[in-house]
Chain A
Amino acid sequence: MVERTPILNILTHLILLTGLIMLLVPLWIVFVASTHDFRTVNTVPMTLWPGNQMIENYTLAWNQSGFGPKMLNSFIVAIGVTAGKIAIAAISAYSIVYFNYRFRSLFFWMIFVTLMLPLEVRIVPTYAVAANVLRPYQELLDLVGLTSLVNTVAGIRLALPEWSMLNSYTGLILPLIATATGTFLYRQFYLTVPDELAEAAKMDGAGPLRFFWDVLLPLSKTNMAALGTIMFVYAWNQYLWPLLIVTDIANYGTAVMQLQRIVPGPLFGEPPRWHIAMAGTLMVMTPPLLVVIFMQRWFVRGLVSTDK
């Protein structure tokens, strides 16, 4: 649509600019706050111009919060979740699109419906399962009556071994891996791949796994990048779940968890040191920001078009 309406152009740009300023001003304030000393930050009204304490604040925040190992943990979790999500999404969508079995659309819709059940909604049962992975099976056995049967007949209490995922990378990563969004994205991508490609691969003698590995995965690179970007940011910013599942903060704490301990937390005590907190926040924000910047080109292509 080509329209030549200068007034409308100015108006739309004004709206865009307003939006941009609304987004950037808080970020600017965070940055400014992170460059002043304790006294300046707490004066009212706060100055909107950067101060000269930047390096001191950032070093202090980095050292005293132990962001080095925490960031490493965050990276492990974020990359683990991202890789897991992509793998699960690619495989489950492959099954749903390319194989013909009973109830497959039911399965798809069941996966899809989980979009309505984010982690926060099911956090208590998920925690219970994470604390003892085999518990659902144990309860199933109890419910069916197998436990009491074995108990009366053999006199043994039938108990499955306990497997806890608390305080472990597995616990941080595994419950976050299931992804309806990813499955849906991959399903839409597979639907755009012409059927003849699968048939050509069949004629070439490639089995389903071979076709998946040699043709579908390489073709879905942009898709993978888009999904990877979203999921990396999502996993990096996870807050509630790590707080819940990790009590051994020294070994398994993540960077975002650590932020909560700065103000007003055990790391710096009272009164709250907002300049340090802001410095920490900006540092924790940086890795996902970099990922988005570097993946941007792929990200847009993966979401908008299927480049073929």
Chain B
Amino acid sequence: MARIDIRNVTKFYGKTQVVHGVDFTINDGEFVVILGPSGCGKSTLLRMIAGLEEISGGTICIAGDVVNDKEPRERGCAMVFQNYALYPHMSVAENIGYGLKVAGVPKAERLVRVQTVARTVGLDAFLDRKPGQLSGGQRQRVAMARAMIKEPKVFLFDEPLSNLDAKLRVQMRIEIRKLHQRLKATSVFVTHDQVEAMTLADRLVVMNKGVIEQIGAPKDVYDRPASVFVAAFIGAPGLNLLPATISSDGHSLTLADGQRLGVETARYPALKPGPVTLGLRAEALNIRPQGHVTGQGTLKATFDFAEELGVGQHIHAEVAGSPIVIHVDGRHPYTYNDVLSIEVSPRDLQLFETKTGLRIAEVNAPVPATSRDQPFVLDALA
């Protein structure tokens, strides 16, 4: 069990910088997911923690010790690789026990420990098989068992689920989560799959182009993305982003085609007139019958098509020349080019600076639509 301190870590490959001064702490027993598109430096960061990649600048501490110059084996980390990296010529038992063999653990003890670990991941019936005779999910389990048997201070996962089919991925995700709950080992998990990240993480680290865009609990990152990049990356679908202009009095914003929405000016002390990017969650939007007027803002949209989800639909439409997705429960009978009225509550507006892409600071931010009901239910229970 250990805390990991990452202090201003950089990585250069020759002259190309791939990690630009990353700085954060992973607490003891925490499950942190590093999320980002491919090439954002997330795997490089993980490999620097593991000791497979040299650290160009800054320091990494595991359990208080600077590990920059330590060999992987001295760092107390275990790693699960994307393609499992099992030794093809060794049986499952040998694969799991190889680390102990290298460490000089006597054979009898090794066997006992291999069996114990194999039982935890449900592999006890396959100990004599070769990796080639196992299914993808079983190989993944061997890789996990191989990591577990060393009782490491830190678990590192490098996109371990991306080679599995969709159903197995969900199942393994749950197993990893359960395992973490039982072992309580500090874990760092790298993925480009935001669903995986949201479901697994205690805390999420979103990276882009070698820089951390946002760190926070999955719910917070989802509800209040710190930048346009995070907003578009997190969630399925990502945040709807529309270019808009804040009026000179700051009380309303205008979309490209002249549609207006009211803005709760008091919420944004730093808001200045001029261009902004408006963000709207698909779940925060409601389609209303034509001519329906409420106190809320209303946007006019043209219907494109609907995506069937089973639990509801994603309505794809166009507002002021930009595509927009609206989540609806149930089914809607629209046809191509129908005009829709979309109800937007002022408290669901998320504003970003157009130039920097950063979120415009808010005070007394309301509970976002997606989390709105939960505190109420909890209050009622209490």
Residue of A nearest to B87 (CB): A215
From known contacts A203-B77, A204-B99, A214-B98, infer whether A194 and B87 are also in contact, taking CB-CB under 8 Å: no
**A308 CA to B88 CA in the complex, in Å?**
7
Proximity bits, B87-106, A CB within 8 Å = 1, else 0: 11100000000110011000
Residue of B nearest to A206 (CB): B102
Residue of A nearest to B84 (CB): A196
* Residues 13-31 of B contacting A (Cβ, < 8 Å): none
Are A200 and B73 in contact (CB-based, < 8 A)? Answer: no
Residue of A nearest to B73 (CB): A205
Q: How large is the interface on B (under 10, 10 to 19, 20 to 34, 35 or more residues)?
A: 20 to 34
Q: A219 contacts the other chain (Cβ, under 8 Å)?
A: yes
Which residues of the partner chain B approach A200 to less than 8 Å between Cβ atoms?
79, 81, 85-87, 146
Count how many chain A residues have C-beta atoms less than 8 Å from C-beta atoms of the other chain.
Answer: 18
Which residues of the partner chain A approach B51 to less than 8 Å between Cβ atoms?
202
Residue of A nearest to B75 (CB): A203
Which residues of the partner chain B approach A203 to less than 8 Å between Cβ atoms?
50, 52, 72-73, 77-79, 99
Give the Cβ gap from B142 to chain A, nearest Cβ, in Å: 11
Are A202 and B98 in contact (CB-based, < 8 A)? Answer: no
Helix, strand, loop or mixed for chain B's interface? loop
From known contacts A203-B73, A205-B73, A219-B89, infer whether A210 and B102 are also in contact, taking CB-CB under 8 Å: yes
Residue of A nearest to B149 (CB): A204
Among B73, B82, B103, the one with the most A-chain Cβ atoms within 10 Å of its Cβ is: B73
**A203 CA to B132 CA in the complex, in Å?**
22
Proximity bits, A185-222, B CB within 8 Å = 1, else 0: 00000000010110111111110001000110011010
Q: B83 contacts the other chain (Cβ, under 8 Å)?
A: yes
Are B52 and A199 in contact (CB-based, < 8 A)? Answer: yes
Helix, strand, loop or mixed for chain A's interface? helix
Proximity bits, B17-58, A CB within 8 Å = 1, else 0: 000000000000000000000000000000000111000000
**A173 CA to B81 CA in the complex, in Å?**
44
**A201 CA to B85 CA in the complex, in Å?**
9
Are B87 and A205 in contact (CB-based, < 8 A)? Answer: no
From known contacts A199-B52, A199-B81, infer whether A204 and B102 are also in contact, taking CB-CB under 8 Å: yes
Give the Cβ gap from A218 to chain B, nearest Cβ, in Å: 5
Give the Cβ gap from B34 to chain A, nearest Cβ, in Å: 18
Residue of B nearest to A217 (CB): B89
Are B73 and A196 in contact (CB-based, < 8 A)? Answer: no
**A199 CA to B77 CA in the complex, in Å?**
12
Are B52 and A202 in contact (CB-based, < 8 A)? Answer: yes
Residue of B nearest to A218 (CB): B89
Q: How many interface contacts (CB-CB < 8 Å) are there between A and B?
A: 57
One of A194, A202, A219, A221 near B73 (C-beta < 8 A): A202
Give the Cβ gap from A205 to chain B, nearest Cβ, in Å: 4
**A196 CA to B88 CA in the complex, in Å?**
12
**A197 CA to B79 CA in the complex, in Å?**
12
Are A205 and B52 in contact (CB-based, < 8 A)? Answer: no
* Residues 284-329 of B contacting A (Cβ, < 8 Å): none
**A197 CA to B90 CA in the complex, in Å?**
12
Are A205 and B103 in contact (CB-based, < 8 A)? Answer: yes
Among A200, A203, A214, the one with the most B-chain Cβ atoms within 10 Å of its Cβ is: A203
**A226 CA to B64 CA in the complex, in Å?**
51
Which residues of the partner chain A approach B72 to less than 8 Å between Cβ atoms?
202-203, 205
Are B99 and A205 in contact (CB-based, < 8 A)? Answer: yes
Are B85 and A205 in contact (CB-based, < 8 A)? Answer: no
Give the Cβ gap from B303 to chain A, nearest Cβ, in Å: 48
Among A194, A199, A210, A221, the one with the most B-chain Cβ atoms within 10 Å of its Cβ is: A199
Which residues of the partner chain B approach A210 to less than 8 Å between Cβ atoms?
102
**A100 CA to B72 CA in the complex, in Å?**
18
Residue of A nearest to B103 (CB): A205
Are A205 and B102 in contact (CB-based, < 8 A)? Answer: yes
* Residues 144-201 of B contacting A (Cβ, < 8 Å): 146, 150
**A202 CA to B102 CA in the complex, in Å?**
10
From known contacts A202-B52, A203-B78, infer whether A196 and B102 are also in contact, taking CB-CB under 8 Å: no
**A218 CA to B90 CA in the complex, in Å?**
9
Residue of A nearest to B152 (CB): A203
**A219 CA to B132 CA in the complex, in Å?**
13
**A308 CA to B86 CA in the complex, in Å?**
11
Residue of B nearest to A193 (CB): B88
Are B87 and A196 in contact (CB-based, < 8 A)? Answer: no
Which residues of the partner chain B approach A214 to less than 8 Å between Cβ atoms?
87, 98
9 shortest interchain CB distances as A-B pairs: A205-B73, A196-B85, A204-B99, A200-B85, A205-B102, A218-B89, A196-B81, A202-B72, A203-B79
Residues of B within 8 A of A (CB): 50-52, 71-73, 77-79, 81-83, 85-89, 98-99, 102-103, 132, 146, 150
Residues of A within 8 A of B (CB): 194, 196-197, 199-206, 210, 214-215, 218-219, 221, 308
Can you sample 28 A-B contacts with CB below 8 Å?
A194-B83, A194-B85, A196-B81, A196-B85, A197-B85, A199-B52, A200-B79, A200-B81, A200-B146, A202-B71, A202-B73, A203-B50, A203-B72, A203-B78, A203-B79, A204-B99, A204-B102, A204-B150, A205-B99, A205-B103, A206-B98, A210-B102, A214-B87, A214-B98, A215-B87, A219-B88, A219-B89, A308-B132
